[in-house]
Chain A
């Protein structure tokens, strides 16, 4: 059992500015833990979490794989999230490398087919398109959940990049809810990008039906 990261250094005032870990965070931790053995066996060197928020997920991944065993890059558009990510890492003796940025933008050039573990718990809540677009610019707490039409505004942009980011044995863990249309995501990853998707965990919690999708290259036939 990997313990849930210690977040006692984060205060109410932090959670007014960044996403407080919730059911969607915890199902993601559970999915990673469920895959612990195969994750360790694949000896990942480059891990990249998009939208790391509190840093809870990357810290957990670091505990699972060992702090010195991989590089844990974390991006978030919210500057306070980048600071909290760093603090949560050090509070738990896991070395995380956060940066303020959108998706994988500054890393794409150098991480082409080089990311072994890619993770995104995106802003997945369906909202007005304007609200989500504005939240992306404001880079505050609304950006943690406002997802635009079908909750896919931000996720859609990342899905287009996943194939070029994943290393040959890389895998991508994505949090989604029913309104995001899971079958459509699976079909799109298969038809447009030649990637396999599997729902590795799902759960109903607090009025949401949460899914963890694991997306990877097809094994060679």
Chain B
């Protein structure tokens, strides 16, 4: 289950690929929605670690337009519930993530991303 929370933390790490290597573009995604327990304390604590623009664009790529362009100043329950859904309940079960810089393809199979590189690709 590559959830968008995980996608938001993954960057390309191929040899020499150090700029414009994040966020990975999502390709051919097969999605599933799975409920998760809502924990506002977790979300509040995690917000500072989110790359917001990357999250918004990933969600839009998957057809979810619910997030605002910026983190609102007033963080209320409605916002947190929407964020909860996008971060934790949308799963990419199959598909791939592609580096916007070098084009490296990281496949996702049965919800598990394969981020390994071949030996000659390791930086």
Question: Of the candidates B45, B51, B119, which one forms a contact with A43 in the assembled complex, judged by CB atoms under 8 Å apart?
Answer: B45
Chain B residues positioned under 8 Å from A43 (CB to CB) = 41, 45
Closest-CB distance, B28 to chain A (whole angstroms): 18
A68 with B37, Cβ < 8 A, contacts A77-B116, A83-B110, A109-B21 known: yes
> B113: CB under 8 A from chain A?
yes
A123 vs B46: C-alpha distance when bound (angstroms): 31
> A105: CB under 8 A from chain B?
yes
Chain B residues positioned under 8 Å from A106 (CB to CB) = 10-13, 106, 115
Taking a contact as CB atoms under 8 Å apart, the answer to whether A105 and B115 are in contact is: yes
Question: Of the candidates A46, A86, A101, A110, which one forms a contact with B115 in the assembled complex, judged by CB atoms under 8 Å apart?
Answer: A101
Task: Kindly report which residue of chain B lies nearest to residue A95, judged by CB atoms.
Answer: B36
Taking a contact as CB atoms under 8 Å apart, the answer to whether B1 and A86 are in contact is: yes
Question: Of the candidates B38, B46, B51, B116, which one forms a contact with A100 in the assembled complex, judged by CB atoms under 8 Å apart?
Answer: B116
Taking a contact as CB atoms under 8 Å apart, the answer to whether B10 and A97 are in contact is: no
> A71: CB under 8 A from chain B?
yes
> A102: CB under 8 A from chain B?
yes
> A213: CB under 8 A from chain B?
no
A86 vs B7: C-alpha distance when bound (angstroms): 17
Convert B29-72 into 0s and 1s, putting 1 for each residue whose CB lies closer than 8 angstroms to a CB of A.
00000001111011001100101000000000000000000000
Taking a contact as CB atoms under 8 Å apart, the answer to whether B1 and A110 are in contact is: no
| Of B9, B42, B46, most A-chain CB atoms within 10 Å | B9
Chain A residues positioned under 8 Å from B119 (CB to CB) = 137
A100 vs B49: C-alpha distance when bound (angstroms): 22
A110 with B8, Cβ < 8 A, contacts A68-B42, A83-B110, A99-B115 known: yes
Considering the complex of A and B, which 8 residue pairs feature the smallest CB-CB distances, nearest first? Answer: A101-B115, A109-B11, A68-B39, A106-B115, A68-B37, A45-B45, A100-B114, A110-B9
